[in-house]
Structure 1
Amino acid sequence: MNLVPLLVNLGGTALAVAVTMGLTMAYALRTRTHSIVDVVWGLGFVVIAATSFVLSGVQGEGVTGRRVLVLALTALWGLRLGTYIFRRNHGKGEDPRYAALLRRNKGPVLPFVLRYIYFSQGWIMWLVSLPVQVAMYQNVSLGVLTWIGAALFAVGFLFESVGDWQLSRFKADPANQGKVMDRGLWGWTRHPNYFGDSVVWWSLFLIACSHWTGLLTVIAPAFMTHLLLNRSGKALLERQMSRRRGPEYTTYLQHTSGFFPRPPKKSPTT
């Protein structure tokens, strides 16, 4: 692997993220709906993958098969996620999370949202995408790790997409109003979508590990998993659900795995 072309790519993708988040912020300020950034989250990774694909091709770096595979997998994940969140949020106005965040602001809106929403999500997006970027520049043939990673991607993608589909169907039924979703994959893990998301990024890391340089990007899936478990994912959602659903959700917590799928327990944990 040639370091200089990769460094050029890292700068190019950083610029692409800055433009993407800047345009998103401009739209959000005009419409006063900052939750649009959740839709752009998945699409931003597609922008990074496409930018890396084009730059690596122009520079004559990487193996075409791996470049196409990584672009296709990232686009599949990002486009599905962006479409799902757009449909879920369409017509509902501002997300309560962002409304609560904005209430903390005591000064001008622009620097506040730039710091706490768009810059913070933009640099995380760029960091998590490192396996995708590095894989585009690896000049080694597709090997066993590449195909194991692709198979692992399929597992994660199915967990995430099927989990989201099951939840959307559950919420669409008025008879389930106020109830806790504990069916299908949600009976095996409290967060099939977060588990699947984590697996997707570990799978892309594994593909990047076809060359030793991929090992240097382990911070990406590790940090993403940390966010899903301890920050904006599992921990935050479970605090909110415990307040809203009370005893029913407490029972669900006792019977169902917090992250890694397993059959539901027949009796509460002690």
Structure 2
Amino acid sequence: MSGFGWAEFARDLPVALGAALGVMLVTFLIALRKGVHRIVDVAWGLGFAAVALVSYAMSTGDGDDGRRVLVTVLTVVWGLRLAVHIGRRGRGHGEDPRYEALLAKAPGNPALYALRTVYLLQGALVWLISLPVLTLWAVMAAPVFPELWAAVSSPDIDTFRFKADPANKGRIMDRGLWSWTRHPNYFGDFCVWWGLFLVVCTDPAVAAATLVSPLVMSFLLTRGSGKALLERHMAGRPGYAEYRARTSGFFPRPPRRS
């Protein structure tokens, strides 16, 4: 590929932003009706799927069709899996304590505060992280990382089976992938977004325009609302200190000996 179409890239940015914010605004209206803001976490994955589908439609007739389909399918499948997983996990529960604490200190109208600080912010992050997907029109069949297609092993099924067994109530999940990393789902998300970056990275200009996306996702997974937040929540659970001492915090490795 010779050169990077900055004009096309700039053209697609507002359309993708509109798709991400559209998903979040619809979710906001549903949340107001239900009186529960935790459903925004379900919309997080759906936002990425929406941006991928819009980007695929805008890139029709350009780029390499095989890679365009690959990136779109990977993103949509990842987004839908995440939405279903979070939806099932939160079914039957009330408001998320994070959003309760946030809205408790809201200045003025809590609903408008939630719209600004939760929904619009998450929509903007979806758009920013999706930058590699927005370059589908520029993705060419070049021999740059052709084998590095994003693959992720999801431990969701093992988790549901573990929780379904009454004997495991109150115990820490430390089986399968959970014995190699305390956060296999987050590590899987990390692999997906770095993998997508490598798939579309057929030109230095593409890399320069989209590198921020996997970097931001990596920060969110390790230092933001992912690993760090969950570990603070789990810190007081019986047996978690021992599990943390023997198990990697993020990148998988064999468990340490006691």
TM-score by length of 2: 0.93
Structure 1 partner of 2:224: 231
- The runs of 5 or more residues in structure 2 that have no matched partner are none
Q: 1:253 aligns with which of 230, 237, 244?
A: 244
Quote the offset at 1:97 in angstroms. 1.9
**Structure 1 residues 67 and 178, CA gap change in structure 2 (3 angstroms):** same
Bigger CA drift: 40-49 or 168-177?
168-177
8 A contact 2:68–2:139 mirrored in 1: no
Higher helix share: 1
In 2: Cα distance, 1:106 partner to 1:75 partner: 36
Query: SS state of the match for residue 85, structure 1?
Result: helix
8 A contact 2:36–2:95 mirrored in 1: yes
Quote the offset at 1:211 in angstroms. 2.1
Report matched runs for 1:1-270 at 5 Å. 1-57=4-60, 60-134=61-135, 136-138=136-138, 140-148=140-148, 150=149, 153-154=150-151, 157-158=152-153, 161=154, 163-216=155-208, 217-243=210-236, 245-246=237-238, 248-267=239-258
**Structure 1 residues 264 and 109, CA gap change in structure 2 (3 angstroms):** same
Q: Greater relative contact order: 1 or 2 (C-alpha under 8 angstroms, separation 6 or more)?
A: 2
Aligned length: 254
**Amino acid in the other structure paired with 1:128:** I
- The runs of 5 or more residues in structure 1 that have no matched partner are none
Deviations 1:13-44 (A, max 9, x none): 01111211111111111111111111111111
**Amino acid in the other structure paired with 2:174:** D
8 A contact 2:13–2:134 mirrored in 1: yes
8 A contact 1:146–1:208 mirrored in 2: no
Quote the offset at 1:140 in angstroms. 2.3
Query: SS state of the match for residue 146, structure 1?
Result: coil
Query: SS state of the match for residue 137, structure 1?
Result: helix
In 2: Cα distance, 1:34 partner to 1:242 partner: 25
In 1: Cα distance, 2:159 partner to 2:202 partner: 36
**Amino acid in the other structure paired with 2:194:** W
Bigger CA drift: 188-197 or 208-217?
208-217
Bigger CA drift: 163-172 or 121-130?
163-172
**Amino acid in the other structure paired with 1:90:** R
Deviations 1:81-111 (A, max 9, x none): 1112112212223222222222222420232
**Amino acid in the other structure paired with 2:254:** P
Bigger CA drift: 98-107 or 80-89?
98-107
**Amino acid in the other structure paired with 2:109:** P
Regions of 4+ moved over 4 Å:
none
**Amino acid in the other structure paired with 1:169:** R
Quote the offset at 1:2 in angstroms. 2.4
**Structure 1 residues 252 and 139, CA gap change in structure 2 (3 angstroms):** closer
**Amino acid in the other structure paired with 2:12:** N
Query: SS state of the match for residue 235, structure 2?
Result: helix
TM-score by length of 1: 0.89
**Amino acid in the other structure paired with 1:145:** F
In 1: Cα distance, 2:86 partner to 2:52 partner: 20
8 A contact 2:180–2:254 mirrored in 1: yes
8 A contact 2:201–2:207 mirrored in 1: yes
**Amino acid in the other structure paired with 2:187:** F
- Tell me the percent identity: 48
Query: SS state of the match for residue 146, structure 2?
Result: helix
In 1: Cα distance, 2:147 partner to 2:83 partner: 26
